[in-house]
Structure 1
Amino acid sequence: MNKPLLLSLVTAALLGTTSLSADNTMYDRFQQMELQMKQMKQELDALKAEKAASAESADAEEADDEADDEADEDEEKVAVASKESADDEADDEDEDDEESIEDKVEELQENVAELNKNTNSNHLKFGVDYRFAIENLDYKMADGSKAKNDAFMTNRFWMNMSWAATENLSFHGQLAYNKAFGARSGASNPANASFETFDWVSNENAYDDKLRVRSVYFLYKDDEFAGADIPWTFSIGRRPSTNGHLINLRDDDHASSPMGHSINVEFDGLSAKFGLESLTGVDGMYVKFCAGRGMSNAAPKFTSTPYSSVDSSQGANPNIDLAGLIFVPYDNGQYSINTQYYYANNLIDAVNPQNQPQGFTTVGGMHSITANFIANGIGDGLSDFLDDTIFFVSGAMSITDPKKDQKMLDATAQDGESKTGYSYWVGTQFPSLISEEGRWGLEYNHGTQYWRSITYAEDTNIGSKVAARGDAYEAYFTEPLVDDIFSLQIRYTYIDYKYAGSNGFFGATSGDASEISSTMPGAANYVDKAQDIRFYLRYRY
């Protein structure tokens, strides 16, 4: 019998030592051993299935023989005896093959266990993601003046970590380094230095040469909840909350759970997800609850400044908390509908934004509602091009909830007056017509005067495009150069602001939505139009 057991020879070579080398990393060895175990188990299952089929065939033949004429009984007995003898030989051979594969699987499992013991963990994995980018940044101010940087260069490095301690419990983390070539950006503008290390964007800013924690959390998952057939997860820690749905397409990343149309910031918190597909019979239905803290009224031990609810100008910051849910009513893998709601409290505005000392004041809260439709492939077999084309449309609404004595987004509003803003966003990504693996993307989004997102961490150095109170246009081309390990991208982003404050805070100072014009007070400080041309090279493994 043909026995595809060459894997065992490879296994012996791989597992002859527990030391690690540059050509045989821990990650590689785990991956190879898991693959070999899977293939061997498939061989074992195939042998058992073949043996079962042989037994069924023998039973069927025996039943047919019993129905034959009794006159042929002696001849039948001779034939059956001969067949049984052949079957016994085949069974012996199958059993030997089966035992051989089972021995190899057991040996491989023992080696995996030994390696886990030496590393104090199960399934320890590391990954790296390095990106060099060069950008041409150009601004036209409201008074007609211009500002630019012809060659803004950055190094961005992510180090990914994961440990699967059990089938249900795992740990995930990511360290990040993001720095402009040649200098720390905050040193050139002391007036804005306090924003450079703002907790929402500490790893998205090209700032200093420190390695920071971008995300760190544990994840628990199970197939049942309270005895019901409801797959669920629970997680707590520093969230993977940037590069969410839709914005991840142009960033060539897997989507994190938030919808990038209305929230894209780093924060600390928790989430719990419940799959509803089995209960409802609707493809992909689930609900996910999220909560987090974006700023803390906290101080180091033994500080002379006590915790307080007063503004930072008097010694403390407010607690900014956010809670919401994501509900996906339908997702069959090709077409999906996604919705999101959150409420953020104690939102802030800058005090004396043009002068020092810099501080914050609490102005109120905000409701945010987002819904989108995604087609991951258009139609059913209409053409290879449409099968591999992604199309999406997204709409969002923000509703401010100001404190009774505060204004939000409008310096001319009455105290406590709420403002509602809207935004829509359409885009497509499709196969390249000039290369086999490349992807093109085209996107457009529009925001009204009082539109407000929390998307400061969006990977666009001229400011968040989906936060724009006005129009934003974007085109990009991504090309894999070496499999999915090494790639390049060229991206062009253009923003035409109609109203100020798109990337400010939430009050009537830095967040004021005044109409952009050459005659507005302080016109030289307001961006009218901005563009970013970016080229990057990226290594991921």
Structure 2
Amino acid sequence: MNKPLLISLAAATILATSLNAQSMYERIQSMELNIKKMQDEISTLRASGDEKSDDESANDESEEESDEEDSEDETKSTVEEADSDDGEEEDDEEEEFNAQEEIEEINESIFELNKATNGNKLKLGADYRFAIDNMQYKMADGSDAGNDAFMTNRLWINMDWKATDNLSFSGQLAYNKAFGHRSGWNSNIPGMETFDWVTNENAYDDLLRVRSAYFLYKNDTFMGTEIPWTFSIGRRPSTNGHLINLRDDDGAASPMGHTINVEFDGISSKFSFEDLTGIEGMYVKFCAGRGGTNANPKFFAVNPQNGSVVQTGAPYATQPDDLGDIDLGGLIFVPYDNGQYAFATQYYYANNLIDADIVYPGGVPTMNGMKTVGGMHSFTANFTVNGIGDEWNDYLDDTFFFISGAMSVTDPKSDERMLYGKNDLTGATTVAGESVTGHSVWLGLQMPSFITEDGRWGVEYNQGSQYWRSITYAEDTNIGSKLATRGSAYEVYFTEPLVEDILTFQIRYTYIDYEYTGSNGFFGGDTGSAVLIKDLTPMTGSTVTVDTAQDIRAYLRYRF
């Protein structure tokens, strides 16, 4: 095979796959087929070179065993042939050199083709979901509200690139848009829908935003010890975490979905102690991040109340009179996980948490921006069983059970109330700065479908106390986070594959019975205040407080 033919083949490959294939998938398949052919040619060339070396060795051995009789004639013949042999060796060396050149050029062509087929670029994936929700509410005053057919488009564009065995990048672009939601009128876009924690989980417009973007470094040793570890920084994959991912038919993100489910910018580092201790699955993971930043705008700001220009001074400098940075730090500790039985724990502390700053000039409630009210401790522990029993039957072997318990403890500023107003702790006027504790329990069961081999169905229940507070605003439940419920929540879902694992269908029913107000509020005594819903009157908010909520959701989801 000669060099021009190889070059022609590489060029023809690129042209043919670019012009003749009818889809990107077919083009990539065609390119990969030609890469395989070229790799086979390399193997053939190398094998040919090896055969030539073997033949030369055989000839040498034959010459050494030749009869020594007529040595004078042999010597004369050898002398006469020496010049000829030298010429042949030069030809062989030149031929070997040319073959090596051809191999290098084929390798270079394969490298370029690999780049063209994403071998050296981001690998992209699409995840599109159409959903329709029937949402019905019963208000505290007995009135009804709802939406019979709330339709949404959700698109995730996944990006991955493994640069080396130790270093990789992952990212995800997303939009979540309600059908027809682009009226051009600002009042049709609620103010908190673009809050950083939930910007890709709330359905409102068709802007494509970054949902996650981070790099991951991993190694099998840490500072000379046999401790596998990882380090990551960026916009974290902190939604759809452990256990809540089951009903969402997703892989689990890092956090435990019982207590945290929001988009987040931060860092994490995981250390595995399984080899060191001999305890299966043991690891600890440290996490930290920032959920709100105090910084001047680069140029100037505009007061949303009156439209006046606010001079900000130094760009991105902190402002003493503005909200403090919201920072969160915590750890996940898994003492045991053998694949069937697992026990996991999580703790975090978040500072400078916020609430609406509502004032009452003339007795009329008026929003005066946001304010900082204090911090919060959060504790979670769960036990999971992935396969009930010891091979009792195939159905139980493929059944997943979990139970999770959580606690929240507020740490209010001395002049602020967290999760209670002025009269809802003891019935009398209360002092600011008092800490309150909340509890929540959550259990669920996911089982194989009776319809298909890969389908799943599940049931879940959770209950939260009066002062329970999670940070689960990005939970994929349009009627509000079920895990934030101060009261009881029930859920059942069926997920079935239609075309392998590419096209799936799900129907899900969620029912929430609130006992106290503020389940989906923030952390202060205004939006987060927990009072008995049955005691509300029209004067104290019964007309705008949800008593029960239910959501019937059906979706079609394409992933590839």
The reply to whether residue 324 of structure 1 matches residue 335 of structure 2 is no
1:396 is aligned to 406
Deviation of 1:474 (Å)? 0.1
State the AA in 2 paired with 1:471.
S
**Of 416, 419, 424, the match for 1:409:** 419
Deviation of 1:249 (Å)? 0.3
Deviation of 1:468 (Å)? 0.1
> Counterparts of 1:379 and 1:27 in 2: how far apart (Å)?
49
1:264 is aligned to 261
2:395 is aligned to 385
8 Å CA contact 2:464–2:485 kept in 1: the answer is: yes
State the AA in 2 paired with 1:344.
A
> Counterparts of 2:26 and 2:411 in 1: how far apart (Å)?
52
DSSP-derived class of the 1:378 partner: coil
TM-score relative to the length of structure 2: 0.76
2:355 is aligned to 349
> Counterparts of 1:107 and 1:378 in 2: how far apart (Å)?
57
**Structure-2 change in CA distance of 1:227 and 1:410 (3 Å):** same
**Residues 385-464 of structure 1 mapped to structure 2, 5 A cutoff:** 385-411=395-421, 412=423, 413-464=430-481
> Counterparts of 1:467 and 1:210 in 2: how far apart (Å)?
28
Q: Residues 197-239 of structure 1, C-alpha deviation per residue, up to 9 Å, x if partnerless?
A: 0000000010111000000011111111101111111111101
The reply to whether residue 221 of structure 1 matches residue 180 of structure 2 is no
1:360 is aligned to 370
**Structure-2 change in CA distance of 1:465 and 1:36 (3 Å):** farther
DSSP-derived class of the 2:343 partner: strand
The reply to whether residue 207 of structure 1 matches residue 204 of structure 2 is yes
> Counterparts of 2:148 and 2:24 in 1: how far apart (Å)?
42
**Of 227, 242, 266, the match for 2:239:** 242
**Of 522, 545, 550, the match for 1:526:** 545
**Structure-2 change in CA distance of 1:528 and 1:479 (3 Å):** same
1:476 is aligned to 493
DSSP-derived class of the 1:149 partner: strand
DSSP-derived class of the 2:201 partner: coil
Q: Residues 112-165 of structure 1, C-alpha deviation per residue, up to 9 Å, x if partnerless?
A: 533355589636310000000000011111111111100000000000001111
**Residues 65-464 of structure 1 mapped to structure 2, 5 A cutoff:** 113-117=111-115, 122=120, 124-184=122-182, 193-303=190-300, 304-305=311-312, 307-308=317-318, 316-352=322-358, 357=367, 359-411=369-421, 412=423, 413-464=430-481
Deviation of 1:184 (Å)? 4.1
Deviation of 1:267 (Å)? 1.0
DSSP-derived class of the 2:530 partner: coil
Q: Residues 428-484 of structure 1, C-alpha deviation per residue, up to 9 Å, x if partnerless?
A: 100112333221110000000000000000000000000000000000000000111
Point out the more displaced range, 512-521 or 209-218: 512-521
Deviation of 1:168 (Å)? 1.1
State the AA in 2 paired with 1:298.
A
> Counterparts of 1:355 and 1:121 in 2: how far apart (Å)?
59
State the AA in 2 paired with 1:404.
S
> Counterparts of 2:207 and 2:287 in 1: how far apart (Å)?
29
Structure 2: unaligned runs, 5 residues or longer: 1-8, 41-102, 301-310, 424-429
Bigger radius of gyration, 1 or 2?
Answer: 2
DSSP-derived class of the 1:352 partner: strand
> Counterparts of 1:335 and 1:106 in 2: how far apart (Å)?
52
8 Å CA contact 1:423–1:447 kept in 2: the answer is: yes
**Structure-2 change in CA distance of 1:109 and 1:135 (3 Å):** farther
> Counterparts of 2:480 and 2:447 in 1: how far apart (Å)?
26
Structure 1: unaligned runs, 5 residues or longer: 1-11, 41-104
Cα RMSD for the two superposed structures = 3.0
**Structure-2 change in CA distance of 1:117 and 1:150 (3 Å):** closer
Point out the more displaced range, 376-385 or 109-118: 109-118
State the AA in 2 paired with 1:375.
V
> Counterparts of 1:498 and 1:31 in 2: how far apart (Å)?
61
8 Å CA contact 2:507–2:555 kept in 1: the answer is: yes
Deviation of 1:299 (Å)? 3.3
Q: Percent identity?
A: 65
How many residue pairs get aligned? The number is 459
DSSP-derived class of the 1:279 partner: helix
> Counterparts of 1:424 and 1:472 in 2: how far apart (Å)?
11
> Counterparts of 1:458 and 1:281 in 2: how far apart (Å)?
36
> Counterparts of 2:295 and 2:30 in 1: how far apart (Å)?
42
**Structure-2 change in CA distance of 1:281 and 1:163 (3 Å):** same
> Counterparts of 2:140 and 2:27 in 1: how far apart (Å)?
53
State the AA in 1 paired with 2:497.
P
Q: Residues 237-271 of structure 1, C-alpha deviation per residue, up to 9 Å, x if partnerless?
A: 10100000000000000000000000000010010
**Of 499, 512, 515, the match for 1:498:** 515
State the AA in 2 paired with 1:271.
S
8 Å CA contact 1:186–1:196 kept in 2: the answer is: no
DSSP-derived class of the 1:278 partner: helix
> Counterparts of 1:109 and 1:381 in 2: how far apart (Å)?
51
> Counterparts of 1:286 and 1:305 in 2: how far apart (Å)?
46
> Counterparts of 2:357 and 2:214 in 1: how far apart (Å)?
34
Deviation of 1:318 (Å)? 2.5
**Structure-2 change in CA distance of 1:120 and 1:463 (3 Å):** closer
DSSP-derived class of the 1:517 partner: helix
**Structure-2 change in CA distance of 1:226 and 1:17 (3 Å):** same
Deviation of 1:334 (Å)? 1.4
DSSP-derived class of the 1:139 partner: strand
8 Å CA contact 2:297–2:312 kept in 1: the answer is: no
> Counterparts of 1:283 and 1:484 in 2: how far apart (Å)?
30
State the AA in 2 paired with 1:393.
I
TM-score relative to the length of structure 1: 0.79
The reply to whether residue 467 of structure 1 matches residue 474 of structure 2 is no
